[in-house]
Amino acid sequence: MSSVPSWRHYYEKAINEKHPLIIYYPTCGGGDECITACPYGDKIWGHTLMRVKLFGFNEKPRLRPIMINPDLCKGCLLCVEACPTGALAPRDKPLKHPWLRLLIKAAKLPFKKRYGLRYVFRKEHINRFKKNNKPNM
């Protein structure tokens, strides 16, 4: 487990490299809604194994999305809108209270039209959530 880097490594790397979007991994559920919503998803986003807790519980290696080609990001922010946990934010509007934002985004989820409950609970996303939170070691 010590060979797998902590989420902080990827978080600080994104800040230092001035990525257009920043992910706060402790509140990221790993369902890949950001990748699915992005029109250039597979070109911009990828996955990596990192040590992270799932909503504050049980730190272990999990697959999480990272921007592998941040220079290709068009800034449409569809990924930010689709993120059900609020873990993804534009660089110029960083998360000040990520856990409060998680609660607010979760409360708004049933009322969102485009990326609401039906979007998040599609079979595809449930399978990705399971795969990313219990990766085969």
What is the predicted pLDDT for the residue at 135?
Answer: 77
> Is residue 70 included in any domain, yes or no?
yes
Q: Are 61 and 2 in contact (CB under 8 A)?
A: no
> Is residue 1 included in any domain, yes or no?
no
Cα separation values, 48 from 10, 61, 68, 129, 135, Å:
9, 10, 10, 14, 11
17: CB partners within 8 A, 6+ apart:
70
> Is residue 46 included in any domain, yes or no?
yes
d(CA 63, CA 100): 24
Query: pTM of the entire structure?
Result: 0.89
Number of domains present in the structure of the chain: 1
CATH number at residue 55: 3.30.70
pLDDT tens, N- to C-terminus, the chain (137 residues): 568 999 999 999 999 999 999 999 999 999 999 999 999 988 999 999 999 998 878 899 999 999 999 999 999 999 999 999 999 999 998 888 999 999 999 999 999 999 999 999 999 999 999 999 987 65
What is the predicted pLDDT for the residue at 2?
Answer: 62
> Is residue 115 included in any domain, yes or no?
yes
d(CA 80, CA 64): 15
Write the pLDDT tens digit of every residue in 45-75. 999 999 999 887 889 999 999 999 999 999 9
Q: Are 26 and 6 in contact (CB under 8 A)?
A: no
Torsion of CA 35, 115, 39, 76, to 10 degrees: -100
> Is residue 47 included in any domain, yes or no?
yes
